[in-house]
Amino acid sequence: MRKIIHIDMDAFFASVEQMDCPAYRGKPVIVGGSPKMRGVVSTCSYEARKYGIRSAMPLQEAGRRCPHGIFLPGRMERYQEISRWIRAIMLEYTPLVEPLSLDEAFLDLTDSEQLFGTAESIAKEIIIRIEKEVGLPASVGVAHNKFLAKLGSDLHKPRGFVVITPESVLEFLAPLPVRRLWGVGSKTAEVLHKLGIQTIGDLQRMSVSILKSRLGENGGALYYLARGIDDRPVTPEEEAKSIGHEVTFAVDTGERDYLEGVLLGLCERVARRMRKQGITGGIVTLKLRNNDFRTITRRTTLAVPTDFEEVIFEQALALAKAADWGGKKLRLIGVSLSGLQKGSSQQIPLFVTGQNEELRRLHKTVDTIKDKFGENAITRGRLLSSAQSKKDKAGIFEGKSE
């Protein structure tokens, strides 16, 4: 029987901000941006949650609920740095670490017990080390499968520690609401409620045939989850399926020259991340969202995978023009590359061989300078004008995806 734990950092982004600035401790911290912005809350401290603030809530609503809150922009590079530190601690106990995001991961400790003691004692040691060495609190679920471990870590935050044994599974799950099960959203919950199913215990009393007749294959999956059955293994971190960046404008804009500059900057950041990871991508995807909140996605497949921003930009710009830049003023623009594979660009149809090699040397030089002196140490002239326009537009909110 496997021994699996799920570690979930408590209010991770907000906790990092409170750790880095002691003046924020004990106060409602909301990460995501200004309450005057149109973005959403990324994370908030437990002090802020007392006011009904939660992740994905519009910042303006959070501002109305907690006008005296401390609203901060996200610092993704800092959060990633801390996440790597935490991950390194986890890897000291097992190579089987499966991250779900920057702030949570599954660990399979089945084979680690011979070296470090029981899974429960290892889990305690890890979270004590994270709090002592990193300075952040975490919650843990200990069980024999992933579903139960993740469920346990979420039940008694912050600093929760829940152990679910095989013998106690049915009794442990029975009083919990069905929404606690993976795959139960609002629509599925509505179907279950019509069947008189409110708790997982109610679901345990239903036959698999009835559940499948009402919910299809999902009904069969819920039948097993209600009994705490989940045989998925913990798998080490998978390679990214795509790499992308996007920005949300504080003020909707239809200025094409400005948008082209922003798009070039996004392509440059995507390409730089790909070169850092030693990968190329063959599918360029453009994302546009206009001021009517209509989202448009367009993609094209390259003849040869690339990690050159010049190639990515050429294709993304062509997609943008073909879509007439969304037809209206834009509030969001993004670009990503998928179809990822190991290795650098070898042959780019856009350039002849000599130019291709010169460009690669140029990228290597620029990347070295940025690695040493920071991302803003060297900038394209075209991006400088976009940066000034960015200031004139009273804010721009950036995000990235993997």
Look at residues 276, 271, 273, 279 and name the one whose alpha carbon lies nearest to residue 343. 279
- Which residues contact residue 170 at a Cβ distance below 8 angstroms, ignoring those fewer than 6 apart? 204, 227, 228
Q: What is the C-alpha end-to-end distance of the chain, expressed in Å?
A: 33
- Which residues contact residue 239 at a Cβ distance below 8 angstroms, ignoring those fewer than 6 apart? 279, 340
Which bin fits 105, alpha (ψ -120 to 50), beta or left (φ > 0)?
beta
Catalytic residue, from 17, 98, 104, 268: name it.
Answer: 104
Active site residue 104: yes
Structure token pair of residue 246: 């996007």
Q: Rounded CA gap, 241 and 285, in Å?
A: 13
19 burial via Cβ count (<10 Å: 0-12, 13-18, 19+): middle
Pair 217, 373: CB distance under 8 Å: no
113 burial via Cβ count (<10 Å: 0-12, 13-18, 19+): middle
The full length of the chain comes to: 402
- Strands annotated E in 67-199: 70-72, 97-101, 104-108, 138-143, 161-163
Structure token pair of residue 72: 């901060």
Q: Rounded CA gap, 346 and 357, in Å?
A: 9
- Which residues contact residue 59 at a Cβ distance below 8 angstroms, ignoring those fewer than 6 apart? 30, 32, 33, 34, 35, 36, 37, 38, 39, 40, 41, 71
The residues annotated as belonging to the active site are 104
